[in-house]
Chain A
Amino acid sequence: MFKLFSYVWKQFREYLVLVSLVIISLSLLTQNNNPKVQYVRAVAFGSFATVTSVFYDFFNITQLKNENQVLRRLNAEMMIQLSTLREYGILNRELKGMLGFKDTTSLPLIPANIVSKSLSITQNTITINVGRNKGIKPGMPVLSYLGFVGIIQTCSDNFSIARTLKNVDLKLTVKNEKKRLNGIMKWDGEKLVIVDVPRTYDFDIGDRIVTSEISSIIPVPIPVGVVSKIEEDKTGLLNLIHIKPFEEVLSVENVFILMMVENDEKNNLELNFYKRQ
């Protein structure tokens, strides 16, 4: 018997090693939601992110000059917008007072820097330098001053990994801001699309797309992008809406995490696909 095993090992050891490792990989693929696997991942990326944060800052210095220029211009534009908004704010307060509405609470934003990016065609993720210690939880939205960037996937004490818009595992409920039409948006590996949109839905090129309140993950409308193309589905019954995102995930450096106020009652009632911890 031993001789047989010895013979088989000698003849096919490369294949035996390959098959064993492939089986281990496949079994790990099915264990991604296992809390133990998630814990190991949190420890691993948390430790490594400490090192990458130093390196990333160093290489990022070269980008800062260009970024400063863009930010200065944006600052000037925002100053003009701010004065307009102040006027609207005063008017809004008066009108709300007249209607007897309570003022809405402002949502807390935590600033963060990206310390590393894992870029691939299908699974873009970013690592940011805030974690559980600052109250970050999986499922919280990540945004920049331009718009939506992604959703927190895993947290360690001081770092978090976020799935970006360009990640096939991130599917988001969005809506057409003007027409109030909802849809599911996803990254198909090549482009950002709202899928399975009935042809009767009135989407136009240039329409702004924001996150929908229907989503149990994101409680407020965050700008996502604009409609860039409307394509007919292969079946001819549905449309495929192409979205050009406001924020280019590849170039984003500074982000904010929206510390969303969870609504337990709503979450308990609704079927939430994203399991929060």
Chain B
Amino acid sequence: MKLKYFVPLFVFIPVVLVQLTVIPFISIQGVVPNLVLIAVVYFSISNGQIFGTVTGASYGLLYDLISGNLVGSNMLSKTVAGFIAGYFAGETRREKYLYTYSFTFVVLISALIDSMIFSFFSVIDFNTNFLQALLNHALLPSIYTSVVSILVVVIPYKRAFD
């Protein structure tokens, strides 16, 4: 059995720990970066689309159970986000999207999709202005998440997770 299948499990606990304890202190007007999503995107690009999809689903489900969110909401959004991030995986693309600042762009796309799906199941209010809802619920958290994901590119020991 390859070790790579277990790495996401070991990474999950510290990531969620930081997400739930430290990240609230750096929130800006209630907007927080989503470290769990950054991890999903990382594993998706490094290990392929199916791996990313399954990791997204597992992370989402566990996060739902731990954080008290609607069970299934994060699972659904992160499954799709992991799947989308998987399009940037592959032997030739991996170097390009994982170890350069393009990673933040992939995180931004995945975070937008993740936030939109998550918000759709949380706030179904057809009176709300769609563009405003998109800005507040999806765009701002996604931009914050992608900015924080720069750390994954600049931290020198990133290859340790491969």
Contacts and interface: CB of A to CB of B under 8 A. Distances in A.
Nearest to A116: B20
Contacts of A70: none
A41 B68 contact: yes
A234 B126 CA distance: 12
Specify which of B13, B30, B31, B119 lies most central, judged by the most chain A CB atoms within 10 Å of its CB: B30
Per DSSP, are chain B's interface residues mostly helix, strand or loop, or mixed?
Answer: helix
A190 B137 CA distance: 8
Nearest to A55: B21
B79 A21 contact: yes
Interface residues of B, number: 51
A11 to B, nearest CB: 13
B16 interface: yes
B23 interface: yes
A234 B76 contact: no
Nearest to B73: A29
A76 B23 CA distance: 33
A25 B57 contact: yes
10 contacts: A32-B72, A45-B68, A55-B17, A63-B25, A119-B27, A121-B31, A153-B68, A168-B123, A189-B137, A250-B24
The 3 A-B residue pairs whose C-beta atoms are closest, nearest first, are: A28-B72, A118-B67, A161-B68
Interface of A: 13-14, 17-18, 21-22, 24-32, 37, 40-41, 44-45, 48, 51-52, 55-56, 59, 63, 116-125, 127, 153-154, 161, 163, 166, 168-169, 188-190, 234, 250
Given A14-B86, A32-B72, 15 more contacts: A18-B80, A22-B79, A28-B72, A31-B72, A45-B65, A45-B66, A48-B16, A116-B20, A118-B69, A120-B69, A121-B137, A122-B118, A125-B68, A127-B68, A153-B68
